Amino acid sequence: MFKSKKIITGIELGTSKISAIVAELCESGEIKVLQYATESSDGAIIKGEVTDVEKATEVLKKVLDQINEATIFPDDTIFLAITGGHIKSQEGIGTVHIHSEDRKIREDDVVKATKDSMHLQANESSEIINSISSYFRLDDKHTLRTPEGHEAYKLSAHSHIIYGNNLRISSFSSILERVGLDHDKVHTTFSGLASMFGVLTEQEKEEATLIIDLGAGTTEYILIHYNGILNSEVLPLGVEHVINDISVVLDINEKKVINAILKENCLDVNNSMTGMVEITTSGGKKTIKIPSSSFVKIANHRLEEIFKLIKKDFDDATGVNLPKNIVITGGGAKISGITDILKSVFPCYNIKVGKPIEITGITTDLIEPEYAVLCGLLKYAALELNIDKEVKSNKNIFSKCQKIGKKILDAIEF
Amino acid sequence: MSKNWKKNTGCNRVLIMENIVKEKILLIGVGGAGVKFASYAKKLDSRNVIDYLIIDTDRQSLEDSCIDNKLPLGFDNTEGYGCGGDSRKGINAFGYMVRKKIIENLKDSTSFIVVGGLGGGTTAGLSILAGIIKNKLKRPGIFLCTTPFSFEGAVADKNATKVANDLQASADVLITISNNLMSASIPPETGNLESFEKVNIEIARAALGLSEILRCEKLITNNFAHFKRVFNKKKNDSAIAIGHINKSDNKETRANSIIDKMLDSPLLGGRKQIFNADIILISLTADKNFPISEMKFILDSVSELFKGKNIELIVGVNNDDLYDDEVQLTVITTRLVKDQVKQNSTILPRYAKNKAKQPELPLVSISRGKFTKTEPFTVDGVDMDIPTVVRKHIIVDKGER
């Protein structure tokens, strides 16, 4: 636990909104939100990637202005969530041969194997965002999480590495630089990972769980399967595609589609008395009546397609049975009937909408799925800053994320 | 009053009826849906206090009904197979000679409740029936019509809107209820046959509830004049909720139970829907021994629901000894539609009868919309930014334009 109070800041540059949150890490480990602010991205970010640096900077400044008045935070406690279609993941393996006479695995062996496993096998333009230790194998036979003290000839460490294109990542950093933050000190975090920390309970982390963050521009998903994180990906498809589909197919202005979804709740067939949605044309002279079932039909096909892509990805890549639990979060989780669509693609699984948990302080309107990343950043930060301390006392070699992986999945031997 | 009723009931009850029943109400079911509603009403009408007539262009529909009083329409044109959704056939079916027959069937009744499903073919002629009731017979008539499900598409909705517009002009009272409300309050796992049956029963109960308001002795007034004031010439989306309790219900909890049953009525569209209304008509019907304390509790509880909300409440209490320890709470919620649609007639000019219209071929859009200038995201060579329904050639009803 923390010996003194610490202020941490989370920043999310999302497709629909740019947000910042400041919280206090109490000695008890409690995360107490002091302030948060959010503004519309106003088209500066599309599909999770920065398309207009100037505008994004302007919006972030506006957000930080609201925050700064109350709190001054050091750069090294800022955590930035990043996403985008360029983000990929791979499994890293590091191997160490045990030369000691008793063949007992010692801390140094674990450290070396883990460090080797976190080496990225990708081209020069790739950059590691997060790496998380998953599990260990002894002589390619036994799988376990804490190998120290066991006997073996060979120790293999398996890690999950999340990486992205360095130019795309630097576009996020450049925005921070423009608002006067030292981007080298800022910790970058994959949005999907932050969501996972934000909404999953300890039990869900222990069990096999698929977490889907259906955002405005992207959908991030992570599969945890006993041994650690097995897969994490980003689809550059999100709620904006649903809105765009409706706008293109029904030939309605995008703003009017958003208005119909938010104010008339047209994606909920049951909400409308007549089953018709009335849209006034931009001139205001003509009113178009469209069955709400048309809105639902277009949205359902898009959402179903997104979920099927996720399912196919896991069927192809992991070759494992899908987990028991599916948790959907992000702004898209608030779409009426989303769990039913999810259920149609992933039948026989426990499906729930994930909201931020274990956050205290000023949380009005914050405990909603769309703030999963923002709240998750705080929880990720709390773990990382806590582990930093341990790392210092541990020869400063461990990947901070290895400990996080250990925190997520307590030792279960196989 | 039907002869059968007199045959099957005791003298005392006949005497009671003679004292109380001043109205001779005829429930008319028009078209496929209307015939079903009327047939269910006949089955539910254990007191047998109103008369029934069914009118349809479909021979099978008429034959399947338990109602004896049947009036076939336009069999010359439809060969007894119905209009198939063709509104012109429906209007033609109410031709001059048929109108005479209708008047003959209706002349002995003092008031009318007409039930039907808008959007179909036969019900396109409802405005003619409304004209007969209002102008020829000069008697009150309440038209209780359902509007199509959204999945029936924009054409059915357009037809329904046109007929509703005509009816507003020609009927004293038109209450339209959306079928879509059904899906809001019926549990999703309910079988489709059971769901439709529930809707038919609710509409039938609603029609019977309306008849109670016209028929019974009034303790607190809400009568046809109230209906006329609320509904006449006003476009509305309405919902009807019925709560019913009988002898077998626990006397201590039945007052609460009737309110719960009313709020859970399938055609209310969910409990929240009740607060979307502009006007609410509440009618409580019971026998003369029903305790005043329970009556007050029920009406107070219903009124309490709307406390602080800008909703006009019209409350009526009716006394009917035939209820014999039964109580019915009928609630009609009405949301007035602000923009009144022009009163266009659906009756097409003669020359339009055979005028063919070239249908428009739908243009398939391959637009990527707002993602036009972004880097495409492809899966197996397919551009995922193009709308899914366009890529998969899924037909979507774009509505009435």
Which pLDDT tens digit goes with each residue over A288-311?
A: 888 888 888 899 999 999 999 998
Whole-number pLDDT of residue B60: 87
**Residues B335-358: what's their mean pLDDT?**
47
**Residues A70-93: what's their mean pLDDT?**
81
Tokens of B205: 């109960």
Q: Name the B residues in 184-223 with CB < 8 Å from any A CB.
A: 184
Instruction: Compute the distance between CA of residue A26 and CA of residue A370 in angstroms, rounded to an integer.
Output: 25
Residue B391: count of CB within 10 angstroms of its CB: 16
Percent of the residues in chain B that have a pLDDT greater than 90, as a whole number: 5
Does the structure show a pLDDT above 70 at B359?
no
Does the structure show a pLDDT above 60 at B356?
no
Crossing angle between the packed helical segments A338-345 and A292-317, to the nearest 10 degrees:
40
Give me the phi and psi of B370, to 5 degrees please: -70, -15
Percent of the residues in chain B that have a pLDDT greater than 70, as a whole number: 76
pLDDT digits (tens, 9 = 90+) for B95-129: 777 788 888 888 888 888 999 988 888 888 888 88
Please tell me the distance in Å from A311's CA to the nearest CA on chain B. 14
Percent of the residues in chain A that have a pLDDT greater than 70, as a whole number: 85
Q: Name the B residues in 346-365 with CB < 8 Å from any A CB.
A: 365
Does the structure show a pLDDT above 60 at B9?
no
Question: Nearest CB to B157: which of A47, A249, A276?
Answer: A276
Question: Nearest CB to B396: which of A271, A276, A297?
Answer: A297
Tokens of B391: 């890529």
Delineate the domains of chain A, giving CATH numbers in brackets: 90-161 (3.30.1490.110), 244-294 (no CATH)
Residue contacts between A and B (CB atoms, under 8 Å): 130
Crossing angle between the packed helical segments A239-250 and A292-317, to the nearest 10 degrees:
140
- Three-state secondary structure readout of A342-382: HHHHCCCCEEEECCCCCCEECCCCCCCHHHHHHHHHHHHHH
According to the per-residue pLDDT averaged within each range, which of A154-158, A359-363, B320-324 is highest? A154-158
Instruction: Compute the distance between CA of residue A69 and CA of residue A245 in angstroms, rounded to an integer.
Output: 41
DSSP A121-157: -S-TTEEEEEEEEEEEEETTTEEES--TT-B-SEEEE
**Residues B332-340: what's their mean pLDDT?**
66
Q: Are A38 and A109 in contact (CB under 8 A)?
A: no
Residue from A165, A234, A248, A277 whose CB has the most chain B CBs within 10 Å, to mutate: A248
Higher pLDDT, A277 or B19: A277
pLDDT digits (tens, 9 = 90+) for A99-141: 888 889 988 888 889 888 888 776 778 889 988 888 889 988 8
Delineate the domains of chain B, giving CATH numbers in brackets: 21-336 (3.40.50.1440), 363-401 (no CATH)
Residue with tokens 């709020």: B263
With H, G, I as helix, E, B as strand and everything else as coil, classify residue A259. Answer: helix
**Residues A369-378: what's their mean pLDDT?**
93
With H, G, I as helix, E, B as strand and everything else as coil, classify residue A319. Answer: coil
Cβ of A288 and B388 within 8 Å? Answer: no
Q: Are B383 and B368 in contact (CB under 8 A)?
A: yes
Instruction: Compute the distance between CA of residue B30 and CA of residue B37 in angstroms, rounded to an integer.
Output: 9
